[in-house]
Structure 1
Amino acid sequence: MKRMKGFICMTAPSLLWCFRKIVLRRNQLLCLLMIFGFCYFLMRPVDVIDPEDYPFNDLDLEDFLVDTNHCKILDFEPDDPEVMCHFERVTYKPCKPYPPFTTTHYNATTQRYVLNINASDPTNSMSCCYMGVERVNEMHVSYTPCVKFKSGTQLANTTESVIVKCRTEGVQVYINGHPTIPERSAVRQRLKHWAQKDRGKRVPSVLMIGIDSISRVNLIRAMPKTAQYLYDNDWFEMAGYNKVDDNTFPNLMALLVGYNLSTVMKHCNPYEISGLDKCDFIWKLFQKHGYVTAYGEDAVEINTFNYMKRGFQHPPVDYYMRPYLFAAEKLLEGTNVKGMPHCVGYATEAEHVYNYAQEFAKRYHNDSFFGFFWTNTHSHSDISQTSSMDEYLRDYMQQLVAQGTMENSIVVFFSDHGLRFGPTRSTWSGHMEERLPFLFIWLPEFLRNGNPEFEESMRLNYNRLTTPYDLHLTLKHILSLTGRAGSLEDLGGAKDCPQCQSLLLPVPLSRSCEDVAIEDHWCTCWPYERVYKNSKVVQQMAEHVVQYLNDYVKSFRQGSLAYLCQPLTLLSMSEAYKAYLMDMYPSNIEIYRLIFYTNPNKALYEATVRFNDLLPDNESLSVTGSVSRLNEYNGEADCLEDFTIKKYCYCKNTLL
């Protein structure tokens, strides 16, 4: 591990003196005692940086993902021993040792899907039927009567997905599901109307493929073949992509709507019926300007817009995958891994989403489409599990190329944040990884050739601080390029980040976290020095944070839920750090990161506190961002259904 230059400079005269004495073979014992003293100085708990854990001053340029006067983001090695001791590569295993008995394919001539029974399988003694899945609302589906068929049958275009059952001698021997992208006259008319307006102009489609809880570093660690494929095939990476909030929902809302969590609650509250329907999602903007839209996400219980939320009153896009997966999770044979749905019928649930995305892109290859697809199941709960999908996703990208998707589509491959829980989260690498998701963008050749400045900007932005708000504006920029929606200015900015911008333009070198709506708690632009965790100042700050949490719970929703929760008290300090701030910050500002335990829930929290020496004592401390919960809290807050305060509440009935 690298040492601090400052420490070397401080000790150099004494060590030089000692060296001379040793050379002269005098006072050797005294020199050894001095060396021992310096070692003790390094290890004692005082307010100085710990060079073993937090190297900064001795780093070279290549040790930074971003290196400007306003932001320095450290680059961590994927094989960090602290993390690798918790990582174990997982082998991909097919859900079934044999292929499914039934398949579907789209017949372009009849413009209908055909459901087939594999010809090689015996069907004389087997009776098969299919039933359509129909959405009732976010939490309910219904099924059409089961229609018998023999070797094959055409599906009606009113049928979006089917469940197939086969029986032999009265015993069910087969069940599987097939989601489809049926032809719709209203969608086709929309596509034709805008294509006529284009007058032959080439319009790019957008395909977004996101994975929950994978940092940039863990993508390289767990899926090296996928990452190498992206690097080898000239995808553009944003290595300084920094999340803006704690979990999936607010980070995706920044991307899809341009709102922070506070603004979402005001304008399209997800806890109210039809609340989310009021949001100006980016897919609505694309749909309004002639695109066909789709959205699919696995793990229906924890879907981004449904977990402890009301979801959508009406389907948010033209092709909405949730009803099918709701039925598939319930009816098809399945398995769980790490508490998450894994196999659903003949494929993992993530593969259902990826296959649906591929089919959507294939069906509308010659049209303008916007597809948003998100998976949780192979990444949400464990740092290792996603490694099982490495070869699959590498091959998947190659399949998109083979079917021609990349020729006319901008493809965004991204995540929302790194792993938020577990043993790796308590490491320094884990702290940074949680805040630094991955972002890769593919630009088709015709767009690169026609706009070489885009390629130049994307390469330049590789080592600059970027956010989900920037990605939101990039999508609007793409839409503006079509000529269908006016200029980028006409489409409006990201409401809660006025200084954010499209990634197709050069990002300013002078960017800081404050410039782009990243609060101190989520900012990765500065390293931290370890400070004495039991000092009076640190204890006072920790007490302030605990009181902040209690006040937050008391005031949440006008105090209507406070009676359910036991007040917290400070149990003990785990660690404390002080930020090594850039020169741009005034000397009266100090930022601290505190990790501490509370009673009665034995919770491990991480908070960032800003100290302003110019303010009165009662105003000098402020908690920035939300306070992170680093250990799990299943069963502690079951009296609540609001994810916002669950991690801060220890239900009173839990004490009984």
Structure 2
Amino acid sequence: MSNLSSSGSNDSVLEPLLQQHDDDDDDENKTPLTSSRKNEDANDTWLVSPTNHCTSTSKNKPNSKTDPASVKSRYTNKNLLRHCKKPSSIGQSISSIFTRRKRAFVLLGGTFLFLFYINSMIINRNSNQMIPVTHHSTVPGMKGYLVWSDKCKMPSIDPYTAEVMQYFKREKYEPCSTSKPLTKVAFNSTTGKYNLLIIQDQVKYYTKSGGQLDCCYQVIERKTGGEKADQEVGLSECLSFRNSAQIPNTADNILVKCKSKKKQTYINGHPMMPERPEIRKRLQDWKKSNSETKKPVSVLMIGIDSISRVNLIRAMPKTAQYLYDNEWFEMSGYNKMGDNTFPNLMAILTGYNQTVAFDKCAPTKLGALDRCPFIWKSFREHGYVTAYAEDESSINTFNYLKLGFEKPPVDYYLRPFLISAEHNLVNKLKSGLIFCLGYQHSADYIYDYALELATRYRDDPFFGLFWANTFSHNDISDCSSMDDKMQDYLKQLAKRGILDRSIVIFFSDHGMRFGPTRKFLSGHLEERLPFMFIWLPPGLKNSHTEFVNALSVNKNRLTNPYDLHMTLKHILELSGRVNKSEPSQGCPKCQTLLKPVPHSRSCDDAAIEDHWCTCIPYTSIYKGSNVVTKIAKYSINYINDYVADFKNGSVADRCALLSLSEVQSAYRALHGVDASTNVTTETYRIIFITKPNYGLFEATVRYTIETENMEVTGSISRLNSYASDSSCVSDGGAKKYCSCGKSSKNRHTAARAPAG
């Protein structure tokens, strides 16, 4: 597979540092020559023997119980008499021989054809599965590493490693409908309004024989406040129209329905970005007050959930190759800082770590997210148009087990449309998520919304975040079907001139967090290393060559979401509308990516906890050692304590007390002796299974040898699916740890028992 590996990967570097043995991988399906087959071969030889052992008569038949020859015959010719047909002549014997030979040749030929077919299938499968991407993502002179310094040695991963490829299957793109939609919307720049149009050549497909089309549209209305403001929507009365209708600027989104002979034949939805007086006034006021003649650069953030840098190369090679071939700047050392989407996006949008984000932005309290200092607020306050869209409303970043926003957080907010569309349009699921929504994919609504923002406001500054979950969140293979689509969206940015005046950030939050590949060390690294690419418009590159130099250098430096937050602040400073920005609260040492990041940067410097850090080399150790067992039990006690104390013990009585079933693997990193305290600290990473729920967990624990003190870093990860296991708990904080069932009466005391 080495000839198919991406440039910059090197398995030989990973093996001594990150070695893991999987007994299942060592099994081979071998088919030895069995005794029955040997007998068949012996039978064929026996058949051409000049002595006919098949012939016997009753008068000279020996006593089968006493005659030695008969006894010998029973043992030597057992199972051979089935070949005897008692030929009446030599000709029949010869004919029988040739018949058997003919059958043998046919069987042999069929076997060769079958093996040829299987071989062809394997070749085709491999060529289909492995599409190499040409790039240079590793450190020059250090091919096996994405980052190499005295404080960070981040290994490069082979996208096509066999342990992962056994679970990967390249998928073909499938349209959501074989029919074309009957209606469309188009913005009229003269009137400043959207027109709803019936596509005339599609009318015949939606009209019953002899019938007429009766069409109407409803405005999708968001609730004005309360706990359900971000959860429920309403519909206006259905307003009839013939061939077209002008949509009032008070309508953000509409649902269209058509009937023929009183039977509904068509339903579809259309999101829009209507012209609003308050937005236009803001743009004009800032344009007048801006002392600079240059227009501020716009920001477009395009995200895909749960795709590692490596899986982008593996599953979406055309998209990846397009980025590499068209001068996008890759941050190949981009390391996540938290477990799931929420902490990583909050670090980008607010500069907060998870603890501060939950404290100051309190997503489970009504109105708290509205008061949170999101970066899009700063852009809007300084004369930008803002937009945010995310598909699969049930798992939206600010709504999954959270209350969401009481008021729309940006100027153009797609969530109300998607809630209505998911309820009214035909849904097609893939890996448990709404992949198709009516006539198009859920993600198409997100990226079409991005194109609409950038096209509608081509002459004005804008900031938009567009995030897709549905084709990537639950399986490493799903995103492969959207490769051509995603490449086309990136090409559309260039074709429409959007790249001429916008900074575009194409990124993910993390790699796959659960599933069969996550148990491997390559899966461990993939989860922590999402992809991130930055596009600079040509004018900015020409006027600020130092930005180009910085991004080129930072490609192989340790970077993270806090740096991206500082970069967004830096971009706002470039507008001339903002003075020097404050540092990120979650990482005071983090900085803009438009300046060189220090070469000798550690995870501690970047506020990345050990559990998420990919800079530390680990070695595999004996999983049954006393210290590993101690750490495993300590980690389980940590989980039990967390559940017992969560929200003042409000969920403890619903969750079973966990105990250790087995340790699956263990690794150790040596930090060395602290000169000030003269103690030796080691970091252990272990994967273990708990009972009674068969939960698969991964913990990273710092261990002080002299004092035997232990400390969990980051959080303990859950590697297998837990939706059904924790169905009795609705709060995300405890959900991955809770196993619903009858718990001990002394649960709280037992949970605090010391590790033994």
TM-score normalized by the length of structure 1: 0.89
Q: What is the one-letter code of the residue matched to 1:95?
A: C
Shift of 1:581: 4.8
Aligned to 1:250, which of 324, 343, 357?
Answer: 343
Q: What is the one-letter code of the residue matched to 1:650?
A: S
Deviations 1:263-287 (A, max 9, x none): 0122111111112112100000100
Q: What is the one-letter code of the residue matched to 2:221?
A: E
Q: Which has the larger radius of gyration?
A: 2
Q: Distance between the aligned counterparts of 1:481 and 1:311, measured in 2?
A: 31
* Matching residue of 1:339: 432
* Matching residue of 2:507: 414
2:471 is aligned with 1:378: yes
2:637 is aligned with 1:543: no
Higher relative contact order (CA 8 A, sep 6+): 1
* Matching residue of 2:279: 187
Q: What is the one-letter code of the residue matched to 1:536?
A: N
Unaligned runs of 5+ in 1: 8-58
Unaligned runs of 5+ in 2: 1-10, 18-139, 224-228, 745-756
Shift of 1:159: 0.5
* Matching residue of 2:213: 126
2:733 is aligned with 1:651: no
Q: What is the one-letter code of the residue matched to 1:466?
A: T
Deviations 1:302-343 (A, max 9, x none): 000000001011110000000000000000112001100011
Q: Distance between the aligned counterparts of 2:274 and 2:414, measured in 1?
A: 12
Identity of counterpart residues, as a percentage? Answer: 51
- Contact 1:70/1:582 (<8 A) preserved: no
Shift of 1:3: 8.6
Shift of 1:580: 5.4
Deviations 1:379-402 (A, max 9, x none): 000000101111111111111111
Deviations 1:48-96 (A, max 9, x none): xxxxxxxxxxx97110000111001000111111111111111111111
* Matching residue of 2:327: 234
Which SS does the other structure have where 2:234 is aligned? strand
Residue pairs, 1:53-452, within 5 angstroms: 61-122=142-203, 125-136=212-223, 137-199=229-291, 200-452=293-545
Q: What is the one-letter code of the residue matched to 1:339?
A: G
Shift of 1:555: 1.5
* Matching residue of 1:494: 584
* Matching residue of 1:569: 659
- Contact 2:387/2:413 (<8 A) preserved: yes
Q: What is the one-letter code of the residue matched to 2:323?
A: L
- Contact 2:653/2:742 (<8 A) preserved: no
Which SS does the other structure have where 1:516 is aligned? coil
Aligned residue pairs total 598
Alignment CA distance shift 1:214-1:4 (3 Å): closer
Q: Distance between the aligned counterparts of 1:563 and 1:650, measured in 2?
A: 11
* Matching residue of 1:640: 729
Which SS does the other structure have where 2:217 is aligned? strand
Alignment CA distance shift 1:119-1:629 (3 Å): same
Aligned to 1:622, which of 695, 698, 711?
Answer: 711
Q: Distance between the aligned counterparts of 1:4 and 1:236, measured in 2?
A: 25
Residue pairs, 1:474-553, within 5 angstroms: 474-487=567-580, 491-553=581-643
Shift of 1:121: 3.2
- Contact 2:611/2:700 (<8 A) preserved: yes
* Matching residue of 1:35: none
Shift of 1:344: 0.5
Q: Distance between the aligned counterparts of 1:270 and 1:517, measured in 2?
A: 23
Q: Distance between the aligned counterparts of 2:499 and 2:679, measured in 1?
A: 50
Q: Distance between the aligned counterparts of 1:300 and 1:582, measured in 2?
A: 47
Deviations 1:518-559 (A, max 9, x none): 000000002211111011111011111111111111122222
Deviations 1:565-587 (A, max 9, x none): 11111111111111255899987
Alignment CA distance shift 1:5-1:548 (3 Å): closer
Which SS does the other structure have where 2:172 is aligned? coil
Q: Distance between the aligned counterparts of 1:653 and 1:153, measured in 2?
A: 60
Shift of 1:197: 2.0
Which SS does the other structure have where 1:225 is aligned? helix
Shift of 1:637: 1.4
- Contact 2:338/2:344 (<8 A) preserved: yes
Deviations 1:340-389 (A, max 9, x none): 00110110000111111111110011001000010000000000010111
Q: What is the one-letter code of the residue matched to 2:636?
A: V
Deviations 1:167-196 (A, max 9, x none): 000110010000000000000000011111
- Contact 2:654/2:743 (<8 A) preserved: no
Q: What is the one-letter code of the residue matched to 2:710?
A: L
Alignment CA distance shift 1:525-1:584 (3 Å): farther
- Contact 1:526/1:581 (<8 A) preserved: no
Shift of 1:561: 2.2
Deviations 1:471-507 (A, max 9, x none): 00000000001110112xxx21110100000000000
Alignment CA distance shift 1:340-1:266 (3 Å): same
Alignment CA distance shift 1:238-1:580 (3 Å): farther
Q: Distance between the aligned counterparts of 2:15 and 2:237, measured in 1?
A: 75
* Matching residue of 2:689: 597
- Contact 2:255/2:269 (<8 A) preserved: yes
Alignment CA distance shift 1:60-1:654 (3 Å): farther
Aligned-CA RMSD value: 1.9
Shift of 1:560: 2.5
Which SS does the other structure have where 2:551 is aligned? helix
